Structure 1
Amino acid sequence: MTKFNENERKVIKFIQENPNEAIQNGISKLSKRLFVSSSSIFRISKKLGYDGFTDMVHSIKNEKDKDRNKSFGVSNTLNILDEKDIDTYIKYLTTNKIVIYGKDFSAIIGKYIQKRLFTLGINSHFIDCIDFNLFLETIGKEYDTMILISNTGECQDCLNLLENSNGRYKVISFTGKKKNTIANYSDVSFVFQGISTSDLIVKSPNPFYGNVILGFEELLKKV
């Protein structure tokens, strides 16, 4: 394994955190700023497996940009959506009565969406009960569109709710991966980048829940 001394680690950290600045400064100005020789920076690039300084800083910048796009994912999702899907989504929100469901962390997002719709005067209700059949036979009869939130797109409670409702509702879903069962049931499906896991205890940051809120707010601008 390649080892780096303290000065080398300092250079690598600076470039990783400030790739644009490193590109603008060039190797000469960067060496003066970090108090290391240009030849030392060049050797670092070779030790990291790059052809040279320029190859190193541009590669690090590209990787950082990729990571940013993966973790955010909102703009990418909205940009690739069919305008027809967005129009359908807006129609459902503005003309129908909305019922919303999500489990665990998705429930927090669902409650946010419900309260946000309520402030806009849109008739909405978050399903906060265990007995889906009771809901469907009582309050559920008043609604005609359902919003489901699920990171994996395979939430069993969501699937049970869909099955028990027997196609009564128009379905809008927010999920974390392109191909999933809930999306297949949906009239309109939005996919926001997330970590595909059903485990609540995940060490890596999961951008899905934040992305759903950001994406939902961006879509509201179109209402």
Structure 2
Amino acid sequence: MRFEEYVNDHFDALNETEKLIVDFILKNRLDVVQMSISELAQKCLVSKSSVFRFSKKIGLDGFNQLKFVLRDEQGTIRQEPQTNFLEATTQAVTNATQQFQSLKMNDIYASLHKANDIYIYSTGWEQEIISEQLQRNFFLTGEKVYVLPAAVDELNMALQRMKPDGSFNGHFV
């Protein structure tokens, strides 16, 4: 099985630290094969035990098996230079569909549709960019969405203007 399959099978159980480890491995998989657990932990700015727990959480016996999987993929990649992009794309769409179905997205969409107002709070600049795009997408569906500022003081001011029924007394510019 490929590294991505191990991660996808256990993605919902991963915390933010473990997702950072995944991101580093995906970007540096050739280097990770040569690293010790200490080196990987240092590069990811996490503890050795975090790397070990991550390996166990995605269904491997430990860090050595993680390296074996990555090394085995390198051999497979060298042996299969021809990629069937249509099949890979179809599989990716199928995997994404299965993941959305497992998350019971219909319940989330129904809740959003029933809401009078939707508030989005971002905790950093990347999340703020995503929040603004999400607000534009909701606008196209006719939903009222408010993007709250990431700064705590501004959030407290906004919370004072919110009504118990979820409506907002005021407007954002």
Q: Report the TM-score range of the alignment, normalised by the length of the smaller protein.
A: 0.3 to 0.5
Higher share in helix: 2
Select the structure with the greater relative contact order (CA < 8 A; seq sep ≥ 6).
1
TM-score by length of 2: 0.39
Larger gyration radius, structure 1 or structure 2 = 1
TM-score by length of 1: 0.31
Higher share in strand: 1
